[in-house]
Chains A and B, each alone.
Chain A
Amino acid sequence: MEISRRLLGKMAAALAGATMLLPAAAGAQDKPAPFDNPGEVEIALVRYLSTGDFFQAYLSGVEAQAKALGVNLRVLDSRQDAALQADMVDQAIALGVDGIIIQHGLTESMKEAAQRAVDAGIKVVAFDVNVENDAVPQIEQSDRDLARLALEQAIEDNGESWKAGYVYVAGIAPLDRRDETWRQFKEKYPGIEEAAQFGTLDNPIANSVANQARSVVTANPDIQVMFAPYDEFAKGVKIAVDEAGLSDSIKIYSADVSTADISAMREPGSAWVATAATNPAVVGEVSVRALAMLLAGEEPGKSVIVPPTLITQKALNDGDIKNMEELAQKLPQFAHADVAVPAWMPLPPRD
């Protein structure tokens, strides 16, 4: 136990990096129980998805906020195994943790596991998975808002009538929610003509999408706007547009962001002009804060929504932003969300 805690602490410290200062020590008396003695509090993060930039950043946010609170964090990673994830919730219950964050997963497998945890008197919050339980607040990045921000920018840049290519794969919850917004926009602006719809999740996604997009732009060279509401899609479309030499006539709008995306958007003459994104690290922080509020007997609300930010190529170039850290520094609305912040809540250091 001691060893694993120490290890976790080390990992957290390494990830938080040298730039991170120790959280300002707030007077212990200011905080409600059980955070007047945070060393006794243990929370578990039970993950379904973990590989990729987004999930890495999410974890770093969870770790930063847990450290700011001074609570012990235990990370259980099921690596896309739904049954194992349910077992891990039971494992966390058996370990006697005080709170659990369920990160992604399937409603079918997590619903009962979450109920068992609630029955055991453990506070639970869920990120991006609906466990159909009134006692469990939902942490959400608003996919509809993500799509809306990107599309509003497309309207602003290109007017209300253009020919579009759309990248979409059905059956993935966030993509489905983004798709709803796309449909609404097509209804609202009849001038938008969807000339082609394509998409694939074949690994490596960007390469497979690039092959498809290449065919699409050859068949429809008059497409003006590509709506690719997932950054891997946008990367693939950008490769195809570059290869076809159409960077000047096509603009790409997407959702999500990473360091690699930033450099792709900033390449000279890049067709990728805007993306809407929520900072995954902030979502991680908010998840822990919502759980902490529950533990302190407060009510974070049935659903806790982390608002997205629009990131344009112009903003990146103007601020000479090269990676996610600089993005967070120069776009403060991206770095922090004033969500689930009661007065007593210690926040991770902000620089």
Chain B
Amino acid sequence: MESRMAEKTSMAGNSGLSVREIAIRYGFLTLLVGLIIFFSLATRGFTSPQAAVFILQSVSITGILALGVTATLVVGGFDLSIGSIATSSMMAAAYVMVVLEQNALVAVLVCLAIGALVGLINGLIICYMRVPDLLATLGMMFLLIGLQRIPTEGRSIATGMTLPDGSTAEGKFSQAFLALGRHRFDLFIDNLVPASVVVLIVLAIVIWFFLEYTRFGRMMYAVGSNERAAEFAGAPVKAYRIWAYVISGVFASIGGILLAARLGRGDIASGNNLLLDAVAAALIGFAVLGAAKPNAFGTAIGALFVGVLLQGLTMMNVPYYTQDFVKGAVLVVALIFTFALLGRKAR
């Protein structure tokens, strides 16, 4: 992480763009536009407002998780537990409403509290117990995958389910909660933009502004680029790092809330695919605008890029296994782009 930050600072000194710099800076965005044009020509129905919206919807949950993990990448850490935080929060939302028969607000608050608490524990383990970030969050991932299944003995949660004590769960998902995943706002066309897309866009803007323009966010970058220097400068490094994990946990739990609202039930799932897709989006984000560092705008574009690609391929009837291949290929290219091209330029 340190070396990448150094590259970034040396880059900032250059002005006047060469062809290669333009390629580095706008290559990914050009590719994205090219893809959209290609799919518009190759498939029916790709160029409609509805299609644009459901591409955003398909990446909204992984996008939100990716924005959270970006915060931990910024401080030079990593969070492997986001996928399982999301599924735990989904199970918690379902449990609170279906089994405990509480309302939507309670469910949302419980989920956010779980996300913040798990993030806090991650941060404390990493900063004060000196456990490496990958290992601490890996452990948390397993812990949560198991924990989310304990209250229901491994069953999915839905209205009418039989509880371990033999009685039947009478509670149901409240309409207000389901609206988080299903309500659509009018934008030129009636019922166009789903709430989850709005949440994604709002969170993207908030975290982008927070990381780029607030003192707190800039200090997080400073901690990530050189922890010791930040410490000598008097920054409470541990606090910044712990906050990064709390942000990541809260974002993941928001993703889980939207997932529960979309599915309308608490589905047991490991969330590993959510994790991988989110991390891929955040890493692809490194290459956007030649940033070569974790950044919220890049992460959002990275998520969008994967979404456009996958939805376009599905519309062209391309089988699922090639989609994983394509996802992987994009990630590899983006990483080569980030490390090789930008690395050479810095020297």
Binding site for B on A (CB under 8 A): 14-19, 50-53, 55-56, 169, 196-200, 202-208, 210-212, 214-216, 218-219, 221, 235, 239, 242-244, 258-260, 262-264, 322-325
Contact = CB atoms under 8 A, between A and B. Distances in A.
A206 B44 CA distance: 25
Contacts of A242: 182
Given A14-B164, A205-B269, A214 B58 contact: yes
B162 A325 contact: yes
Interface of B: 43-46, 48, 50-51, 54, 57-58, 61, 87, 90, 149, 153-162, 164-168, 182, 194, 259, 262-265, 267-274, 310-312, 314-317, 319-320, 323
Given A198-B314, A259-B161, A259-B162, A204 B156 contact: no
B165 A17 contact: yes
The 4 closest A-B pairs by CB, nearest first: A17-B166, A260-B158, A204-B269, A215-B314
A218 B315 contact: yes
Contacts of A51: 149, 154, 268
A205 B194 CA distance: 21
A14 B268 CA distance: 21
A46 to B, nearest CB: 18
Given A258-B158, A322-B159, 6 more contacts: A203-B271, A214-B57, A215-B311, A216-B314, A239-B262, A260-B156
Contact of A52 (B48, B165, B268, B314): B268
Contacts of B274: 203-204
A318 to B, nearest CB: 17
Contacts of B317: 196-198, 219
Contacts of A199: 320
A210 B262 contact: yes
A168 to B, nearest CB: 9
Looking at A19, A202, A260, A264, the one whose CB has the most chain B CB atoms below 10 A away is: A260
Given A18-B165, A323-B161, A324-B162, A56 B269 contact: no
Nearest to A171: B321
SS class of chain A's interface: helix, strand, loop or mixed? Answer: helix
Nearest to A215: B314
7 contacts: A52-B156, A203-B270, A204-B87, A204-B274, A206-B267, A214-B54, A215-B314
A262 B160 contact: yes
Nearest to A267: B264
Nearest to B173: A263
B204 to A, nearest CB: 19
Contacts of A216: 314-315
A235 B262 CA distance: 11
A230 to B, nearest CB: 14
A18 B163 CA distance: 11
A202 B273 contact: yes
Nearest to A220: B44
Nearest to B317: A196
B271 A211 contact: no
Contact of B315 (A219, A235, A239, A324): A219
A243 B54 contact: yes
Contacts of B263: 204, 206-207, 235, 239
A251 to B, nearest CB: 20
Contacts of B316: 219
A215 B162 contact: no
A200 B273 CA distance: 11
Contacts of B165: 14, 17-18
A196 B320 CA distance: 12
Given A215-B311, A216-B315, A260-B265, A203 B273 contact: yes
B160 A211 contact: no
Contacts of A324: 162
